[in-house]
Amino acid sequence: MSSNLSKIKGTFLALAGATGLFAYTNVPVNPPTSGNKKFPIEASDLKLPAGFSAKILATDLGSTRHMVIGKNGDMYVKLSKLKDGKGIYHIKDTNGDGEIEAKTLFGDYPGTGIAIKNGYLYSSSNKGVFRYKLNEKEEIVDFEKPEKIIEGLTDHGRDNAKPIALDNNGNIYVTVGSYNDNCREAGSGKGMSPCSILDSAGGVWKFKADKAGQTFSDGVRYATGVKNAVGINWDEKTNALYVTVHGRGKFDDFYPQYYTPKQSAELPAETLYKLKEGDDAGWPYIYYDHFQNKKILAPEYGGDGKKTAGEKAINPLVAFPAHLGPNAIMFYTGNMFPAKYKNGAFIAFHSQSSELKKGYMVAFVPFVNGKAGKWEIFADNFAGTDLVKPTGPIQHRPCGLAQGPDGALYVTDDLNGTIFKIDYKKK
């Protein structure tokens, strides 16, 4: 094994030298081993349904966000913070044995979004989108010269990730999250009316996937009232765009007459939407209350926690407990997992719910004939501590999801830079 690794490392060092170390940098390979103290938890600590098992492929990678896997098994992982001056990992498991033989860094910009479509790797910064030409093996042809597809998207430092999805008609969809949690006027509990932020944020914009040099003005606002859709995916089965949306924050700070601290901690729902062009999800004027199962008028706009509103706003397909932080959605199309998972959606939750005393997990939403069913917890205990009575800090925060060529599920963690691989074996 060690001699093979040395050969592979040498190959990649040579490639780095040929293309320019500033563009593509080899990173030492340190395969995880059982009992390695760098790992806050072991893969066996994860709680999974019967027949499933997990393996840790790598750790200490940095702030690993979304990821995508090519048809040859190569992993591309986006970093929200630069590591050694780079923002994307290219990770190789050349023989599919679950052991990483080489990992390299390229791209000089941080961000979250990454996707493969029609011979290109698309990757976002916090202000735009780039793409890299791939060869027939879905390997990048030139790491030094990405094509800039979109630039000039707003970045105010808060909720500034630009997750992406691509359809089959040459379009790319980009989330532009709101940088003002409730669209409140500065220093007050009053909402801006109208909310001017919606002109450039709080929605999903559509651009051309193959046109270089686009700016914000070239895009079309595909859907509005979407506060911050970190999870975004185009589903091939239903031929539609789906997003998971982070809900707003505090209610009781300015409106204690209507909301207790407990209600403020347990509202509003995090949501899963199916979007079509022209849809309005209602932010900031309304929010979805999963206890009442209603769209409620926000207090900044005259609500009292009971008044319903948003007749023109779409309803979510699924409402999750507050503050779970749904950071990725992936529709499962593989054949490894049992039939119930086929065409359903996995969702990575990045935070925790005070209502459930649960979080830092991967959930599953079944889809039957295009209709969402009841959600369930699929993979739990990434936190590595009891969230009811914590005995230590949170260890992992699931953030990105990807499906391997063999149908395995990959999960990234942006706290300790860990990649988990989840397999299924029928007993």
CA separation for the pair 356, 113 (Å, rounded): 29
Query: Domain limits at 211?
Result: 2-424
3-state secondary structure 24-57: EEEECCCCCCCCCCCCCCCHHHCECCCCEEEEEE
Domain count, the chain: 1
pLDDT along the chain (427 residues), means of 10: 37 33 43 44 88 94 97 95 96 80 94 97 98 92 94 93 98 97 90 96 98 98 98 96 96 96 96 98 98 97 97 97 97 97 97 94 95 97 92 94 96 95 89
Residue 59, token pair as written in the block = 């750790």
The dihedral region occupied by 85, where left means phi > 0, alpha psi between -120 and 50, and beta the remainder, is left
pLDDT at 137: 85
What is the rounded (10 degree) CA torsion for 330, 324, 275, 203? -120
Count CA atoms within 13 Å of residue 11 on its CB side.
11
Q: For residue 17, give the amino acid letter.
A: G
Compute the chain's Rg from CA coordinates. 21
CA separation for the pair 226, 266 (Å, rounded): 20
Q: Which residues pair with 224 in a beta bridge?
A: 203, 280
CATH number (domain holding residue 99):
2.120.10.30
CA separation for the pair 177, 314 (Å, rounded): 18
pLDDT at 112: 97
Q: Which residues pair with 352 in a beta bridge?
A: 359
